[in-house]
Amino acid sequence: MFDLFASGLKLKSQKITSGQAIEVMPPPKKVHIPFSQHQGNPARPVVSIGDHVKAGTVIAEAEGFVSVPVHASISGTVTAVQRHPHPVLGHSLACTVEADESDEWKNPAQTHQSYENLPVPELLKKIKGAGVVGLGGGAFPTHVKLAPPDDIKIDTLLINGCECEPMLTADYRLMLEYPVGIVEGAKIFQKILGTPKLVFVLENNKTGAAHALEKEGAVVRIIRARYPAGHEKQLIKSVLRRTVPLEKLPWHAGCVVQNIATCHAAFQAIRFGKPLIERVITVSGEGVREPKNIMVRIGTPLEDIINFCGGYAAKPRKIIFGGPMMGIAQFAPDVPVIKCTTGIIVKLRERSEPETSCVRCARCVDVCPMKLMPCEMVKYVKHNEFNKADDLGTRACIECGCCAYVCPAKIPLVHYFKYGKTEIQRIRS
């Protein structure tokens, strides 16, 4: 077992859905599909109200290199192209499709028997055309991540199966139930990059998944379960002992990191010509009656998913898209699942202690995986001294939430750092 970075947190595991096999949720009667579901330029809409679409129809085309197309996830009629609640951006332009209940596909599955022999440009074209992005939460266009500059040599491809958030199990179930597609997808990535080394990295609480991948020929490295092991910078540090420089990509450390769900999506795109219109998420927390892992269509509203999981156990105090540490609280019942949604957490209790003054205990410094000084950074952000906050490395914050989790003064440190990073970026631009 590899030693992990010394900081971070040992969180209590709450993976109550780890034994729940993936259920396929039936197509919803209505979807709201945002055109902004990836980093880079939003996709450009190409449909209008009244258009009929099938599952897999392109409804928005990529706008530039760092962008991907967006596809309809059900068959039906476009009834709106307007701003709608978005789980990350608050609101954004989205396409509403009302189902015709035929669930007809634009291009039914077409098996490509010799996909391994396709040339690299063709593989990249298919991955981009299917709208594949990083499904671990980052949503960076995958075809861009697989195209490093010519002067950068990539020697290692790491496949991230850590899933360190304490309540999520979607990736774990995907590895148990779909190991062939994941390993084949990783091999496609390896061919595109031309890397000599391909390594799957899992935490030591996922031995079943490790065995499933090894049966398919994967090389698996096990690291200790410690949050945020799944962040790619910590993963690279743990396994390769390399540091990704500030404002640089893993390319600059000679490696690329891909999530296991992204591998599976790329395999589906290249082997079967299937665009990214659905994904596996975990629905958990004491506030939902039947916690599950489900395969859900992109654009499915929150309320439909909760109903599929038996409804609310009681009036929820907080609903989070993502994990409890890095997820984002939601405010609208019709906010949709998007490509980077890893889970939905429903909480009946929420910490509400007021923020008090920093007691200089330095616990935040001890747990910061980026070796920053949160207690000093927040002081400058609060006083709008953003240049000083920048000098302390605020832009390197990965927003993992470890500092706020241990803070005895209940200071919402990550909230301050998100604000500070926005202001620093504004000043520098």
pLDDT in tens, 104-160: 998 777 788 788 889 999 999 999 999 999 999 889 999 999 999 999 999 999 999
| Per-residue pLDDT at 3 exceeds 70 | no
Give the mean pLDDT of the chain.
Answer: 94
pLDDT-derived band at 21, boundaries 50, 70, 90: very high
335-394 pLDDT, tens digit per residue, is: 999 999 999 999 998 777 889 999 999 999 999 999 999 999 999 999 999 999 999 999
CA angle centred on 322, ends 320 and 325, rounded to 5°: 85
- How far is residue 118's CA from residue 208's CA, in Å, rounded to a whole number? 33
- How far is residue 357's CA from residue 347's CA, in Å, rounded to a whole number? 27
Mean pLDDT confidence for 301-322: 97
Q: What is the pLDDT of residue 101?
A: 83
| Per-residue pLDDT at 161 exceeds 90 | yes
50-71 pLDDT, tens digit per residue, is: 999 999 999 999 999 999 999 9
Torsion of CA 157, 279, 176, 145, to 10 degrees: 0
Is 128 in contact with 80 (CB distance < 8 Å)? Answer: no
Q: What is the pLDDT of residue 305?
A: 98
Q: What is the pLDDT of residue 350?
A: 77
Q: Give the number of C-alpha atoms closer than 13 A to the C-alpha of residue 206, restricted to the C-beta side.
A: 33
Q: Can you give the length of the chain in residues? A: 429
Is 278 in contact with 198 (CB distance < 8 Å)? Answer: no
Please tell me the pTM assigned to this model: 0.94
| Per-residue pLDDT at 27 exceeds 90 | yes
Of the candidates 33, 110, 29, the one whose C-alpha atom is nearest the C-alpha of residue 75 is: 29
Q: What is the pLDDT of residue 175?
A: 98
Could you tell me the maximum CA-CA distance found in the chain, to the nearest angstrom?
A: 63
Structure tokens that stand for 125 in this block: 């074209």
- How far is residue 336's CA from residue 307's CA, in Å, rounded to a whole number? 14
Q: What is the pLDDT of residue 4?
A: 53
- How far is residue 282's CA from residue 135's CA, in Å, rounded to a whole number? 13
Distance of CA 90 to the CA centre of its chain: 17
Is 222 in contact with 202 (CB distance < 8 Å)? Answer: yes
What letter does residue 167 receive in the DSSP assignment? T
Q: What percent of the chain has pLDDT over 90?
A: 86
Of the candidates 304, 301, 298, the one whose C-alpha atom is nearest the C-alpha of residue 277 is: 298
pLDDT-derived band at 6, boundaries 50, 70, 90: low
Strands 30-34 and 90-99: antiparallel
